[in-house]
Each structure stands twice: as C-alpha cells, then as structure tokens.
C-alpha cells in the first residue's frame, strides 16, 4: 500500500472516530445543510461544528461552499472505497485466522480420541 | 443507534486511524506475535508498540496474554461488523445523494431543451 493511501486512510478513519461527525455525514446524505443548521441539529456551538466540518473536509468527506454569509456543506468526493476494502480484507483475515484455530482445536480433539482408543486397546 | 455502540465505533475507528496499528492487525491476521516481535517488525520502540497494542486492545481488536515474561498478541473478538455496516450504509446514502443530484441536472437539461424548443416555435 502506498504512503499516500496510508495517510488518506489515517485521515478518514480519524474523521469517522467521532459520533457527531458520523451523524453529520448521515445528515448530509439526506440533504445539504449550512454549518448553522448542523450546529442546531447537533446542539453544538458554531465554533464546535466548524471544527468537525473542518476535519471532515480535510479528509475529503465533506465539501463546503460559501455563498454570501452562509457556508453550505454537502457530501465530498470520497465514497470510502479504500476504507471499505480495508475492512473487508481484515474480516477475511479474521475469518481465516479463527478457522485455522478451529482446525487446530478439531485436530487436538481427534488426536485425543485416537489416543484414548489406543489406551483402551 | 445506542450510545454504547457509538462509543464502540468511536474507539474502533480511532484505533484504525493509524497505519502502524492497521499493520499490526494485518500481521496478527497471519500469526500471533509477541510485543517484541511486533516492535522489531515495525522498527519501533517497545514502549511505542505497547501503546499501539493498548489502543487496539481497548477497542477489542487485539487480545493479549502474558506467559512468563512474554506478552503474546492475537486478534481480538471483534470482527468489525458494525464498522463495515456503517460504511456500507454510508456508501448507499452517498450513491443515492449523487444519483439525486444527477437527476436534478438531467431535469434542468430537459427543461432547457423544452424552453429552447418553445422559444424557436
């Protein structure tokens, strides 16, 4: 995996590590909103919401546009493809790892049975 | 979504927001390893690696066991189901949102064409 992609994954997973920021993305998935709307919706100060939107914007998950005095937020260009791919690959590793452990346990059980039979013979 | 689950997502996405920690998970997906092995593998101090493993452990992504003087790390119980589900849901929202925008653009184009035709008539 190239360094650039690593830094991008770092930024997007960090952006997703806050329930308010995930809520903002869900909200913008339904409709564009101003920062004031979002601050109201999440019972947060304008300054607090600006910080959250900044983190999302730097991660490419939100795009903002200022028209007059209002800054409107909408979903950004990133569809979280790489993040989903990473999680899917992890789950495959996880499954393979636990399957391997299951096989070891099964092998031990089988061996125990054979040994038990030998002792009885 | 319940509060407990939110805190869990916060912790796991934060744990995944570091390339070394993602690398440790990939490594443990192949084989269990001691903290010393991991520190060597990732060219990191033992103290630095202990911190990373601690973050992963608190998020339920790694389980450790101390036998004698060696602490062995293995993949934890969490298979990142909820995280994957969140990302999948987000991508559906994203697709729907951009499809909706496409439709607005198409509608505008169609209207322009009709208006243009009316003007020519």
Judge if A17 and A49 occupy the same domain: yes
Judge if A87 and A62 occupy the same domain: no
CB contact (8 A) between residue B14 and residue A14: yes
Owner of token pair 């920062």: A35
Q: Is the ipTM of this complex over 0.90?
A: no
CATH classification of the domain holding A38: 1.10.10.10
Residue B100 domain boundaries: 80-121
* Residue B1 domain flag: no
In 3D space, the residue among B100, B13, B5 whose CA is nearest the CA of residue A56 turns out to be B13
In 3D space, the residue among B60, B108, B110, B49 whose CA is nearest the CA of residue B83 turns out to be B60
CB contact (8 A) between residue A13 and residue B13: yes
pLDDT for A117 beyond 90: no
Render pLDDT for A44-84 as a digit per residue (tens, 0 to 9): 999 999 999 999 999 999 999 998 989 999 999 899 999 99
Give the nearest partner residue to B83 out of A7, A74, A87, using CB atoms: A87
Report d(CA B71, CA A84) in Å as an integer: 31
Q: How many domains are there within chain A?
A: 2
Return the residue of B nearest to A83 by Cα: B87
Q: Please report residues of A whose CB lies closer than 8 A to that of B18.
A: 10
Give the nearest partner residue to A14 out of B17, B80, B98, using CB atoms: B17
Beta bridge partners of B75: B62
Judge if B55 and B11 occupy the same domain: yes
Render pLDDT for B19-77 as a digit per residue (tens, 0 to 9): 999 999 999 999 999 999 999 999 999 999 999 999 999 999 999 999 898 999 999 98
pTM passes above 0.90:
no
Beta bridge partners of B63: B74
CB contact (8 A) between residue B96 and residue A29: yes
């Amino acid at each position: 995996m190239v360094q650039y992609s690593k830094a991008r994954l770092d930024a997007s997973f960090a952006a997703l590590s806050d329930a308010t920021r995930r809520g903002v993305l869900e909200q913008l998935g339904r409709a564009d909103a101003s920062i004031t709307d979002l601050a109201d919706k999440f019972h947060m100060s304008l300054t607090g919401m600006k910080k959250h939107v900044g983190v999302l914007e730097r991660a490419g998950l939100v795009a903002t546009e200022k028209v007059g005095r209002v800054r409107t937020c909408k979903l950004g260009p990133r569809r979280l493809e790489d993040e989903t791919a990473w999680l899917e690959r992890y789950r495959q590793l996880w499954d393979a790892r636990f399957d391997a452990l299951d096989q070891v346990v099964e092998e031990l059980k089988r061996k125990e049975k054979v040994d038990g039979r030998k002792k009885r013979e």
